[in-house]
Amino acid sequence: EVDTNRVAVEGGSQGGALSFATAALCGNRIKLAVPAVPFLSDFPEYLKVAIWPANEWIDYATANPQTGIEGVLKTLSYVDIRNLAPWVTASVFMAVGLMDETCPPRINFAAYNKLKSEKKYVVFPDSGHGLPAEFNEMRDQFIKEKFGISSALK
């Protein structure tokens, strides 16, 4: 009893990354994706701009010189949403916080910029990894609008 024309995925941080990945790997079955402050993107850049968990990958590479940082980055590339983004066919509405030190906006946009589907984003200049409640309303409105759901319906 699922309306397969109205399947959306959404989430924040790792859930935002999983929204990207699900939309990429499920093709046309996913109609909308709403990732908020998505993680798991552009790992080489992430190592330059974020402390955690980048420090754990660096520690692993140091402790395992046979793998090194190149090996770590190669493994991480398989789950990098920047690499999955071109496969997304769903409409995407992404949100970022400019003060986010966990998932800096530049890594969010590394994936967003690779999207070929319809896309839009919202930036919250004063927000970090947590977004204001206003985003929840924007997300819900985006989904209702795209699925042609009346505002009177919950």
From residue 95, how far is each of 28, 38, 131, 134, 138 by CA, in Å? 22, 8, 8, 11, 10
Token pair, residue 60, equals: 């692993």
Report d(CA 113, CA 130) in Å as an integer: 22
Q: Within 10 A of 151 (CB to CB), how many other CB atoms are there?
A: 9
| Position 5, amino acid | N
Active site residues: 13, 100, 129
From residue 126, how far is each of 97, 132, 150, 153 by CA, in Å? 7, 9, 32, 32
